[in-house]
Amino acid sequence: MRHWTQLGEAPIPGTGQSLLLFRDKDDFFIKISSGGGELMSTRKHGSEDALGTLPCRRLRDSTSPRVLIGGLGMGFTLAAVLKVVGPGAEVTVAEIVPEVVEWNRGPLGEHSAFPLNDPRTRVHLGDVMKLIRSKRTYYDVIALDVDNGPEGLTKSTNDWLYSDAGIAAAQDALAPGGILAYWSAGPDQAFQDRLRRCGLPVEEVTVFAHGNKGARHTIWLVDSS
């Protein structure tokens, strides 16, 4: 039986909602104030790990790639990327809720071995869309997990990321040979069709949320190499 203790509440900018941080013994959970169940849990992060490892393992040269992750969450995707890429990598993680970064610097961060402390990590406090649109940096990997997937729960403006325009902008922000990766709580044919319209090879991968049974999540990989 769970005995959840609430440790924090953080408003999600631009929405009327908040993220709520809970602890149950050694595990942490993040929920959205409007309901809808757990958004994140330290108990299950197989697919968050895979969002980091799958695209980075495909890079021809992973010694010094530039990687963009949106958002930080519980840091599992960031930690997974850092395990695969080399010492010259620059891994930028965009997180829109500043308290999420603070939470990861505290006891929650033990679960992902404090990837924010890695010298290759850069934190952008703000919307990942801004970095994608800025065209200041071209990334070898862009890994997006800002919500529950194309049918988001957290922030309606995130819909843009999964639109034709958002997909095209993310493609434009890739360096030659770069790879886009999207996480989703489940399959989404309309989004997959949109990805295919960009004309690049798209692979849908199904990944267990934890271990090798139970709930499965979906990751799409768009390979421009």
Ligand X SMILES: C[S@@+](CC[C@H](N)C(=O)[O-])C[C@H]1O[C@@H](n2cnc3c(N)ncnc32)[C@H](O)[C@@H]1O
Residues that bind ligand X (CB under 6 A): 39-40, 48, 70-77, 94-97, 100, 127-129, 145-147, 154-155, 158
- Whichever of 36 and 86 has its CB closer to ligand X, that residue is 36
Question: Please, what is the end-to-end C-alpha distance for the chain in angstroms?
Answer: 48
- Whichever of 85 and 94 has its CB closer to ligand X, that residue is 94
Q: What is the smallest separation between the CB atom of 49 and ligand X, expressed in angstroms? A: 8
Q: What is the smallest separation between the CB atom of 97 and ligand X, expressed in angstroms? A: 4
Q: What is the smallest separation between the CB atom of 93 and ligand X, expressed in angstroms? A: 9
CA geometry: angle at 180 spanning 178 and 186, to 5°? Answer: 160
- Whichever of 94 and 195 has its CB closer to ligand X, that residue is 94
- Whichever of 127 and 140 has its CB closer to ligand X, that residue is 127
Contacts of range 148-152, beta carbons closer than 8 Å, 24 or more positions apart: 148/36, 148/39, 148/184, 148/185, 149/182, 149/183, 149/184, 149/185, 149/186, 149/188, 149/191, 149/218, 150/182, 150/184, 150/188, 150/190, 150/191, 151/188
- Whichever of 185 and 195 has its CB closer to ligand X, that residue is 185
Q: What is the smallest separation between the CB atom of 144 and ligand X, expressed in angstroms? A: 9
Q: What is the smallest separation between the CB atom of 86 and ligand X, expressed in angstroms? A: 21
